[in-house]
Chains A and B, each alone.
Chain A
Amino acid sequence: TQLLEQSPQFLSIQEGENLTVYCNSSSVFSSLQWYRQEPGEGPVLLVTVVTGGEVKKLKRLTFQFGDTRKDSSLHITAAQPGDTGLYLCAGPSNDYKLSFGAGTTVTVRA
């Protein structure tokens, strides 16, 4: 059973457009992590959000943790081909174990 539901599953946009991907759960999380995985590589951590309502920015990427700590979103402004990849959210399912969502595959066309 997936604790974290990600949507959409696939997203294909033109360079310069904006996009938002979502990560939702019925459970409250103490923190959530976002990873990006490029083809043929392992996931790389982008950000960790820990406080309800928190907003973090990483260049053109904006991450938000929901007030109830059950959801999170990732917004990319003016997407570039280098943003192409699988975006995964992950949250602790207990003190030491991380559970991942199924991910959103983002393709940015030049």
Chain B
Amino acid sequence: EAGVAQSPRYKIIEKRQSVAFWCNPISGHATLYWYQQILGQGPKLLIQFQNNGVVDDSQLPKDRFSAERLKGVDSTLKIQPAKLEDSAVYLCASSPWQGAGNEQFFGPGTRLTVL
């Protein structure tokens, strides 16, 4: 079974530029998560989708971050414009169904450096 795919793996941009990340979850997984992991910290949930609907985006900085999962499969996360403090690893995860006690399957992440 193929795992969660993410691209690109690495991205370096200057502040105020835009960037987009892509995630393809495990086939059949209805729940998709985007996390931000700053160096030295655990992953922080940015947004959670159930199929193509948003379950939680309370910690998404909506003035600069946006995410979509139009067909309930793959998803994109965009930052526009980027700030220095956005430097982090962006992890995508998926789960067969909604529920905090369920196992989440993570992709390898995209390491973003904002200069």
For the A-B complex, the count of residue pairs with Cβ-Cβ distances under 8 Å equals: 62
State the A residues within 8 Å of B (CB): 2, 4, 9, 30-31, 33, 40-45, 48, 50, 88, 90-103
Name the contact of B104 in the complex, choosing from A40, A45, A95 (C-beta under 8 A).
A45
- B61 at interface by CB-CB < 8 Å: no
- B98 at interface by CB-CB < 8 Å: yes
Chain B residue total in the interface (Cβ 8 A):
22
Q: Which of B13-21, B38-46, B72-80 participates in binding chain A?
A: B38-46
State the B residues within 8 Å of A (CB): 4, 40-45, 48, 55-56, 91, 93, 98-101, 103-104, 106-109
Chain A binding site: helix, strand, loop or mixed by DSSP?
A: loop
User: Sorted from nearest, which 6 A-B pairs have the closest CB atoms?
Assistant: A42-B106, A92-B100, A100-B42, A45-B103, A31-B101, A98-B100
Evaluate contact between B99 and A103: CB separation under 8 angstroms: no
Evaluate contact between B42 and A30: CB separation under 8 angstroms: no
